[in-house]
Amino acid sequence: MDDEQIKKIIYGSEEYDDSKEDTVRTWLRDAYSKNMRWVMINIWVWFFIFLVPIVFSAIQFFRTDQTRDQIMYATIFICCSLGIGFIKTFGWVMMQRPSISREIKRLELRIAELNETVKNK
């Protein structure tokens, strides 16, 4: 792969003039791209798998009168809430993944340019 192909991959086509900054909007665009579709579907499925017991345990917590059952429903609620927190963290990392790989490609290009300037001197 030569330098022109690398630049085309990193910067895209010339007619699209983005500020080249990584914003939340670009993270979302990259996260919901065709390559990341199954990861995002998996994240949303697990989110709803954990959301159903949260809603159920919250409703049952206020309906029951026994302390033992309230402790059980509160434990289910807390564990599933932690699970959703983990899923959100995983989703956030997966949203940033394409931008990190793009930065690595930019650094590789800079190293290749620096290597060429050192060889020419």
Q: How far apart are CA 10 and CA 50, in angstroms?
A: 38
Q: What is the pLDDT of residues 3-28, one digit of tens each?
A: 676 666 666 544 444 455 667 777 77
Model confidence pLDDT, tens digit, residues 76-119: 999 999 999 999 999 888 887 777 777 888 888 888 888 888 88
Name the residue with tokens 């049952």: 60
Give the start-to-end residue ranges of the domains of the chain: 54-91
pTM of the model: 0.64
Q: What is the pLDDT of residue 15?
A: 45
pLDDT tens digit sequence for 41-84: 999 999 999 999 999 999 999 999 999 999 999 999 999 999 99
